[in-house]
Amino acid sequence: MPPLFSSSKGPTEAQVLEVLKTVQDPELGRDIVSLGMVNNLKVDGSKVVLTLVLTTPACPVRDEFQETVRQALVAIPGIQSAEVTLDANVKGSAKIQSTNLIQGIRNIIAVGSGKGGVGKSTVAVNLAVSLAKSGARVGLLDADIYGPNIPTMLGVHAPVQIGGVMKPALNYGVSAISMGFFIPKGEPVVWRGPMIHGAIQQLLKDVDWGELDYLVVDLPPGTGDASLSLAQLVPLTGAVIVVTPQDVAIEDGAKAIAMFRKLSVPILGLIENMSSFICPHCAESIDIFGKGGGRDACQQYEVEFLGEVPIDPRVRVGGDEGAPIVAAYPESPAAQRFMDITKVIAGKISVQNLEEAGVQWISMV
């Protein structure tokens, strides 16, 4: 067999592609050429330049992946330097693309809980902001009709009307719509199921969301009308369940898992919020709400454990002041946990969507 690289002028683009076929996506187990991840390849003598197109800008191994590709290139005989630029093209759910209710939204992530008080809205806001910080186009729909808190927590005040079309409010790179924009402060919402259904439908179809990679939906606690309406109106990419470690939260979180399964909504995983408190004076970890409940629930109900988020007073302060912790204190332990969890969720969605499209992947998320 003749050597792969025999030209004195250096390797050709075709020869470089043959080498890149040996490089696999570390999460998905397929080579980057067959996945269409190699773009703008140019070989100029001893230099190679290419764009590596990720399936999500929130790829949990993006830096390591970029370096792996670069090292594979510089190992080619005749190549002395390699420039690998990262880009991303978020794959959308085929089911979502087929619906006429919404246009331009690639993935819809429902954030739910079995009971109130577990920090579901906090998780939804920080998940949305983390995705936006990664470079994704993100929307946040506040479907908690009875207790809409997203305007306060995201620091937004009103949508914009342009030519009779409603455009979401924007902050931290996140486009947001909430019933809280349209109800006087302190005014209760006393609606039956059909009105809830109609409101959610309007918030989806009567808003110019534009092109979104991810729409995060903050659901009300429990297993009621809003969750059912959302699942009936649009195909959901998946659901994230939020609990605290205590038994009562786990019991109710199990009901949310069962509800989404009955609605044929994939469960992306479970987040244990308020998992512990680190004393700022003695650094002792205090398990205020118990320990290990989230992990135990994941084993029992066969869902993935996405991670633990510790208690941090700045999370509460940021929620009151419209400054999510991942934006205000990105180096804090709580913010780091939120961002790590976001990367795992984004990776799982990429795998799921491409499996749905008929591509077989080996998931290592």
Query: For every one of its 365 residues, what pLDDT tens digit does the chain have, with 9 covering 90 and above?
Result: 444 444 456 789 999 999 999 999 887 778 999 989 999 999 998 999 999 999 999 988 899 999 999 999 999 999 999 999 999 999 888 778 777 678 899 999 999 998 888 999 999 999 999 999 999 999 999 998 888 999 999 999 888 777 778 899 999 999 999 988 988 787 888 888 889 899 999 889 889 999 999 999 999 988 888 889 998 899 999 999 999 998 888 999 999 999 999 999 999 999 999 988 877 777 777 888 778 888 999 999 999 999 999 999 999 999 999 999 999 999 999 999 999 999 999 999 998 988 887 654 443 33
With beta carbons less than 8 A apart as the criterion, state whether 74 and 80 touch: yes
| 289-to-197, 294, 314 alpha-carbon distances in Å | 35, 11, 18
* Predicted local distance difference test score (pLDDT) of residue 309: 95
pTM score, whole prediction = 0.89
Q: What is the pLDDT of residue 108?
A: 96
For strands 267-278 and 160-162, give the pairing. unpaired
pLDDT of residue 6: 44
Q: Quick one: pLDDT at residue 192?
A: 84
d(CA 90, CA 212): 9
Domains identified in the chain and CATH numbers: 13-88 (3.30.300.130), 94-356 (3.40.50.300)
Gap between the Cα atoms of 153 and 142, Å rounded? 11
| Beta carbons within 8 Å of 55's beta carbon, 6+ residues apart | 28, 37, 88, 89, 90, 91, 350, 354
Q: Give the per-residue pLDDT at 103.
A: 84
Comparing CA positions, the residue from 41, 115, 101 lying closest to residue 229 is 101
DSSP letters spanning 183-250: S-TT------HHHHHHHHHHHHHSB---SBSEEEEEPPSSSSHHHHHHHHHS--SEEEEEE-SSHHHH
pLDDT for residue 358? 67
Helix axis angle for 247-262 and 225-233, nearest 10°, is: 30
DSSP H or E stretch at residue 309: strand 305-311
Q: What is the pLDDT of residue 73?
A: 95
User: ∠ CA 305-107-352 to the nearest 5 degrees?
Assistant: 55
Distance CA 197, CA 212 (A): 23
Axis-axis angle for helices 247-262, 293-301 (nearest 10): 30
Q: What is the C-alpha to C-alpha distance for residues 36 and 321, in angstroms, rounded to an integer?
A: 43
- Indicate the residue type of 254: A
Residue 258 contacts residue 297 (beta carbons within 8 Å): no
The number of angstroms, rounded, from the C-alpha of 141 to the middle of its chain's C-alpha atoms is 14
